[in-house]
């Protein structure tokens, strides 16, 4: 019997999702392979064992790849709208299982239940987006310089798409990739985070049912499990033309180098060091809501979490006092209890990094205005619950330049005009998400201009955290430059081809070149 908590319906949720005490971790769909070693998944909520997952062997990986490559041959020639119908059915299954999957996400990862449900809703939303996209994989037609010729561009499936996801969004980011890749005619191999492997098992079982119900071949949706060594099976494999990897900048640099050496393609979603600029014309109430949720949501473990609050000196004390007062109202505890705002960090290693960051900011000259600390006692037995902290600091501090995946918010003061705040905001190596709080149109437009925010996401009067699937998601600089989800992000999952058709009886050459025989 799975030793999960019974108080919030976890065992019932696991049963509905088909998650067992021990789960095979390698799958081509309905076919599951036994593996050898196991990964144990303990909940950061209460420290209890949820279940175990077997890791993928090299032989199992080769068997899985053979199946995936064979499935690609038939999946790629199915008309895209028909592939869209399969993704629509997958979205319907997610709707049916939204509650249990949301609970598993919350219990295995530690985010609030509402955030867990929101993550599954993102999966549903990207399926809806992909279904419409299945009839809009447009190419381009252009005029040829040669008479009697027609030129156009079209897009073809890449083949096998390898997906490496992170623990903080254990299901949504996979779906961003796989829903679009499936629509494009690709097959997918997914390595979930070893910190949240049961979420991967649940999703694969949902997908496998849809493919089996439609009599589609094994291998369109594949799952592997293990540590970085299993991920290397894909990153070094020339049969995998695209690797989509989400995680730390350190990890992304390794993936980019490895994939680049074989001239493969990488889609990288890496670290963030996101800031909100607060100008004298900001709405303070809106600022507090955006900053606090951005800083403490998912216990600060979002790549879009708000790390820095850059406040004009004229409103600095007012904003600081309002944010500190809001932190005093935060409730920390079991994330499945909807009365709580903040759940645990993912594990004790994350707690240690949080403690080290607080120590370092003080050593560099910072001032803790809301002190942190590890919570102990009843309800905090896992040792993963910490207090969200606020520190007055300077952007030049080494620790401020670093992304700490924990609920630590740095308050930074600026003077003068908004250009000075933008310089501070851009003065880090990461470039994912950014925001400005202002009712001044000129400041807002300056922030969004060519000389404004250098991030992939730039918002006005909303926070840095969260994104709608309709827009392309991703960042610049050491965030990796990748784009997922909406807009034209689908193009990364396809190869581009230029076609020229000659419908005459002659063969003129381009640029007027003569070649007479």
Active site residues: 269, 303
Residue at token pair 């144990």: 40
Residue 37 buriedness (CB in 10 A; 0-12 / 13-18 / 19+): middle
Residue 380: helix, strand or coil by DSSP?
A: coil
Edge to edge, the sheet with strand 49-54 lists 22-23, 49-54, 38-42
- Is residue 437 within 8 A of residue 385, CB to CB? The reply is no
Beta bridge partners of 22: 52
- Would you say 305 and 467 are in contact if contact means Cβ atoms under 8 Å apart? no
Q: What region, left, alpha or beta, does residue 417 occupy, with left being phi > 0 and alpha being psi -120 to 50 degrees?
A: beta
* Residues linked to residue 332 through DSSP beta bridges, in sequence order: 342
Over 260-306, what HEC string results? HHCCCEEEEECCCCEEEEECCCCCHHHHHHHHHHHHHHHHHCCCCCE
Token pair recorded at residue 111: 């985010």
Which residue spans within 442-513 are E strands per DSSP?
Answer: 457-460, 472-473, 476-477, 484-485, 494-502
What residues does 42 pair with on adjacent strands? 49
DSSP 238: T
| Burial class of residue 99, CB neighbours in 10 A (0-12, 13-18, 19+) | middle
Residue appearing with tokens 């025989």: 517
- The full 3-state SS of 424-447, as one line of letters, equals HHHCCCEECEEEEECCCHHHHHHH
**CA nearest to 218, candidates 25, 66, 22, 34:** 66
Using the Cα atoms of residue 169, residue 171, residue 172 and residue 175 in order, give the sign of their dihedral.
positive
Q: Which helix (H) or strand (E) holds 334?
A: none
| Whole-angstrom Cα Rg for the chain | 24
Closest listed residue to residue 112, CA positions, set 372, 332, 383, 409 = 332
Phi, then psi, of 35 in degrees rounded to 5: 65, -165
């Amino acid at each position: 019997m799975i030793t999960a908590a019974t108080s919030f319906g976890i065992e019932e949720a696991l049963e509905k999702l088909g998650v067992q005490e021990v789960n095979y971790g390698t799958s081509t769909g309905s076919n599951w392979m036994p593996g050898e070693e196991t990964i144990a998944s303990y909940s950061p909520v209460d420290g209890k064992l949820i279940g175990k997952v077997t890791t993928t062997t090299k032989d199992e990986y080769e068997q899985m790849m053979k199946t995936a490559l064979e499935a690609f041959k038939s999946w790629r020639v199915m008309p895209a709208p028909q592939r869209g119908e399969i993704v629509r059915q997958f979205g319907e299954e997610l709707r049916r299982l939204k509650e249990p999957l949301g609970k598993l996400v919350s219990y295995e990862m530690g985010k609030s239940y509402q955030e867990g449900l929101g993550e599954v809703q993102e999966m549903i939303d990207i399926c809806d987006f992909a279904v419409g996209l299945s009839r809009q994989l447009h190419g381009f037609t252009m005029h040829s310089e040669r008479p009697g010729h027609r030129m156009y561009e079209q897009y073809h499936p890449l083949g096998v798409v390898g997906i490496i996801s992170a623990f903080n969004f254990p299901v949504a980011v996979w779906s961003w990739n796989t829903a679009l890749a499936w629509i494009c005619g690709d097959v997918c191999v997914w390595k979930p985070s070893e910190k949240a492997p049961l979420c991967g098992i649940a999703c694969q079982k949902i997908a496998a049912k849809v493919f089996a119900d439609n009599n589609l071949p094994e291998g369109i949706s594949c799952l592997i499990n293990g540590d970085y060594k299993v991920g290397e099976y894909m990153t070094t494999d020339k049969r995998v033309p695209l690797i989509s990897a989400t995680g730390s900048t350190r990890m992304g640099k390794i993936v980019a180098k490895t994939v680049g050496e074989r001239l493969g393609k990488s889609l990288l979603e890496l670290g963030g060091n996101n800031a909100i600029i607060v100008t004298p014309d900001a709405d303070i109430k809106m600022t507090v809501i955006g900053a606090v949720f951005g800083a403490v949501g998912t216990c600060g473990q979002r790549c879009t979490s708000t790390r820095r609050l850059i406040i004009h000196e004229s409103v600095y004390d007012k904003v600081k006092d309002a944010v500190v007062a809001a932190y005093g109202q935060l409730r920390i505890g079991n994330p499945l209890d909807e009365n709580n705002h903040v759940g645990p960090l993912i594990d004790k290693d994350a707690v240690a990094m949080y403690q080290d960051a607080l120590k370092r900011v003080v050593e560099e000259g910072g001032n803790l205005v809301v002190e942190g600390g590890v919570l102990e006692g009843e309800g905090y037995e896992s040792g993963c619950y910490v207090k969200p902290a606020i520190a007055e600091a300077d952007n030049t501090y080494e620790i401020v330049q670093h992304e700490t995946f924990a609920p630590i918010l740095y308050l930074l003061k600026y003077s003068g005009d908004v250009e000075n705040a933008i310089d501070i905001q851009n003065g880090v190596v990461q470039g994912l998400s950014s925001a400005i709080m202002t009712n001044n149109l000129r400041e807002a437009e300056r922030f969004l201009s060519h000389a404004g925010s250098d991030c992939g996401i730039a918002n006005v009067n909303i926070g840095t955290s969260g994104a709608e699937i309709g827009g392309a998601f991703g960042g610049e600089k050491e965030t990796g430059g990748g784009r997922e989800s909406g807009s034209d992000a689908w193009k990364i999952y396809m190869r581009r081809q230029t076609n020229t058709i000659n419908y005459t009886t002659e063969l003129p050459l381009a640029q007027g070149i003569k070649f007479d025989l």
